[in-house]
A and B are shown apart, each in its own frame.
Chain A
Amino acid sequence: MTTVSWSGEPGTSRGPGPFLSVRDLSVEFSTEDGIVHAVDGLSFDLEKGTTLGIVGESGSGKSVTNLAILGLHDPAHTKIGGEIWLEDQELISAGRGTMEKLRGNRVAMIFQDPLTALSPFHTIGRQIGEVYRKHKGASKKEARDRAIEMLRRVGIPQPETRVDHYPHEFSGGMRQRAMIAMALVCDPDLLIADEPTTALDVTVQAQILDLLKELQQQFGTAIILITHDLGVVAGTADNVLVMYAGRAAERGTVREVLREPRHPYTWGLLSSMPRLNSSVDVPLRPVRGTPPSMLNPPSGCPFHPRCDYPKLAGPELCFNQRPSISPETGHGDACYLTLEQKRELRTAKTEDRA
C-alpha cells in the first residue's frame, strides 16, 4: 500500500522520493474574460504499480492537471507554476525535446472518447506502430509486429487483420482497447487515463477497467485514473484524490475516503450516488448549486457557497480563509470542521438516509 503524502515547501531538493510527485501545481489560462485559475496549489504523490483515482465534477481541474504532467498545454496562453517530479526529472521546466521523448514513452495517456481521440486517417496498426518507431527506433516491420502483439495483449481478436483497419471499422470498446494498446506500446511507467470508460457502455466499462488492472499487474505501471464515477474508483484505485475548484478537497486510500469521508463535498458526491443496498424510496441528493466559475473563484473555502455547514466552523472562517489540507500525510481533507463535528454530522446524515 502506498502513502499519499502532503509535505514540504516547493523547490526543496529531492532525495529518493515517490515515483511521481506533484508539488503546489498551479495552472492559469489567460482568456478574453480574464485569468482562469484552473488548478491552484495542488500536490499529490504516486508510487509505482499503484492507481490513484482523481475524482471531481467537470471543471474541477482533473484533466488540466494531467495535461500539465504531459506538458500538453499551449504555452502561449497558459501559466504553469509549482513542480512535477517524475523520479529525478522535473517536468514543468523540461524542454520541448525532453517532453517529446517522454510522452508516449515513459508517460502515456488514454482519453475519454476513443473515436475522436484516434486519427481517422491512419490505420490502427500505423498509429500504434509509430509510437514504437518514434521512441524505440524500430523498423516498419518491427513496429507492425509490435502493434499486432499489443492488439493481441489487449484482447482484440484476429489482430493480424485488425491491425490494418481504420478506427471507424472498430466498435467503441475495441477502439478503447486499441487506444490502451497504443498507450502501452512502449511499456510506460505512468499511464494517465482520462475518463477511459465514460464514452463506453456499462458492460464494456467493466472489461476495460479489468484490462487496465491486469496490465498494471503485468507491467507494474502506475496509473492515474481520472473519473467522476466513484464506482469506478472503488473498484480500481488504491488511493483517491477528490478535487474541487482546482484544489484537493480530500485524499486518502480508497477505503478511508469511501468508508469515512471527511469533507462535506465528498459526502455530497457519495450521497448523490445510487446504492444497491439502500431503499429505493430515498431520493438521491445531489450536491446543491453549481461548480464555481474559475474565472472568479469564491473567497475562503471554495466550497462554502454549496456547503451546508459553513457557520459551524466559526462565524467567518470558511468565508475568508482558504483551508489547507490536513493532516499532511495519510487521510486528509481541506475543511475547518473538527473530526468530531464531521463524525457527528455524518452519523446524522446516515441515519437520515436509512
Chain B
Amino acid sequence: MTSYLVRRVAGALVILMIISAITFYLFYAVPRDPARAFCGKICQPETLALIRHNLGMDEPLFVQYWHWLVGIFAGREFVQFGSCPAPCLGYSFATQEPVFSAIVDRFPVTVSLTLGASVVILAFGILTGMIAAWKVGQPLDKIASSSSVIGASLQIYFVGPLLAFYLVDTMQLIPRPSYVPITENPLDWFTHLMLPWVVLSIIFTANYTRMTRSQMVEQLAEDYVRTARAKGMSSRSVFFRFAWRGAMIPILTIFGVDLATLLGGAIITEQTFSLHGIGELAVRAVQNTDLPMLLGVTIVGAAAIVLLNIVVDVLYAFIDPRVRLS
C-alpha cells in the first residue's frame, strides 16, 4: 500500500512536470510579449530590455523553466518583486500579487463548488439510477431515463441564469450565489452555493443516472446475483448488497475521469454566477497574457485531478477485493 502510494505520487509529479513544461512552451509560442504590457505606451527599447531582465525573460526558455521549477521547492528572488518563499509560483504580470497566495485565496471557492457538486451528482445520480433499475420497464424507470436525456443535453450557461432568474430574482427562494467561507458560517456557505451546485451537477447527474441504471441491470443478470437469490436472500438485499457493489466499480472509474471535466465545468459555473474562484483567475490570466498566473492555475488544477485520481484508485481496492494495489 505504502509503496504503491509512493510510486503513484512519483508518477503524478512526472505528469505535472510534463504538463507545466508544455504550458510553459506553448505560452511563448504565442506571438505576444508580456514585457511590452508593463512598458506603457511610450516604450523605449532600453526600458523594455530592463523589464525583460527584471522578469527574467532575457534568459533561454529552459533556464526560465528551471528557475520556475526550483522556485516551487526552494523559493526564488525577483529583482522587481523581491523574495518569494517556497512554494513560489512567481508573481502575476498583471496584478503583481504572488501567484501562490492568489490561488490559495480562491481555492476554497472552487473546491467548495466542485466537491459540493460531486456529492449532488453521486448521491442524486446513483439514487435515481437505482430507482430506475429497481423499477426497470415501469413508468418510474421511463421518467428517470427520459428526464436524464433532457438533463444531459442542458448547458450550464443556459440553465444557470434561467434558474437564477426564477429562483433568486422572481421567487426569491434562495439567496444570490456567492461564497461565504465555511469556517465563517456553514449554513450561509451551504445556502449561497446551493444553486451553483445544482446547475453544475445537472448535466453530470443525468449521466450517472443512466450509467447506474444500466450497470445495475447488467449486474442483476450476473450469475452471482442469481446465486444470492438461490440462497434465499431477499430481493432488497440482493439489490443493495450484491448488485450495487459491482455496479459501483465502473461508476467510480468514470467519476475519476469526470473530475477533470467537473473542474472545467466549475470554471464556467464561476463565470456564470460571478464567483471569485480559480476559474476566474484562469480566464483573466489568459486575457492578460499572464504567464505565471496561468501556469500556477494549470499546475494546481492538474495536481488536484491527479491527486483525486489516486484517491479513486485506492477506493477501488476497498470496493473490489480482486484489485491489488501493487
Contact = CB atoms under 8 A, between A and B. Distances in A.
B232 A118 contact: no
Interface in B44-99: none
A105 B232 contact: yes
Given A116-B222, A121-B246, A166 B322 contact: yes
Interface in B153-201: none
A103 interface: yes
B230 A104 contact: yes
Contacts of B322: 120, 166, 168
A104 B223 contact: no
Contact of B224 (A96, A102, A116): A116
B232 A102 contact: yes
Contact of A72 (B230, B242, B319, B320): B230
B232 to A, nearest CB: 4
Given A119-B242, A121-B245, A166-B322, A135 B223 contact: no
B234 interface: yes
Interface-central residue, B231, B235, B320, by most chain A CB under 10 Å? B231
B319 A131 contact: no
Contact of B232 (A76, A103, A117): A103
Nearest to A131: B231
A130 interface: yes
Interface stretch (A107-115, A145-153, A235-243, A337-345): A107-115
Nearest to A115: B223
Contacts of A346: none
Contact of A116 (B223, B230, B232): B223
Interface in B297-326: 319-322
B136 to A, nearest CB: 9
Contacts of A105: 232
**What is the interface residue range for chain A against chain B?**
20 to 34
Nearest to B224: A119
Contacts of B232: 100-105, 131, 134-135
A170 to B, nearest CB: 12
A221 to B, nearest CB: 16
B253 interface: no
B242 A134 contact: no
Given A113-B223, A168-B322, A119 B228 contact: yes
Nearest to B245: A121
B233 interface: yes
A166 B321 CA distance: 7
A110 to B, nearest CB: 9
A119 B229 CA distance: 12
Contacts of A109: 227, 230
A117 B226 CA distance: 8
B249 to A, nearest CB: 9
Contacts of B31: none
A182 interface: yes
A199 B224 CA distance: 15
Contacts of A134: 231-233
B223 A121 contact: no
Given A116-B222, A116-B223, A121 B233 contact: no
A54 interface: no
Interface in A120-169: 120-121, 130-131, 134-135, 166, 168
A70 interface: yes
Interface string A84-98: 000000000000100
Given A111-B223, A113-B223, A120 B321 contact: yes
Contacts of B319: 121
From A76, A117, A118, A121, residue with most partner B Cβ within 10 Å: A121
Contacts of B246: 120-121
A123 B171 CA distance: 54
B224 to A, nearest CB: 4
Contacts of A104: 230-233
Contact of B227 (A100, A102, A111, A135): A111
B277 to A, nearest CB: 38
A108 B232 CA distance: 9
A72 B238 CA distance: 13
B137 interface: yes
Interface string A314-342: 00000000000000000000000000000
B233 A72 contact: no
Contacts of B226: 72, 111, 117
B241 to A, nearest CB: 8
A117 B224 contact: yes
Given A76-B137, A102-B232, A134-B232, A118 B320 contact: no
Nearest to A66: B230
Interface in B204-233: 222-224, 226-233
8 contacts: A70-B230, A96-B235, A103-B230, A103-B231, A108-B231, A113-B223, A168-B322, A179-B227
Interface of A: 70, 72, 76, 96, 100-105, 108-109, 111, 113, 116-121, 130-131, 134-135, 166, 168, 179, 182
The 8 closest A-B pairs by CB, nearest first: A104-B232, A104-B231, A103-B232, A116-B223, A119-B224, A109-B230, A121-B245, A117-B223
Given A108-B230, A130-B231, A168-B322, 9 more contacts: A103-B231, A111-B226, A116-B223, A117-B224, A117-B226, A120-B321, A121-B321, A131-B232, A166-B322
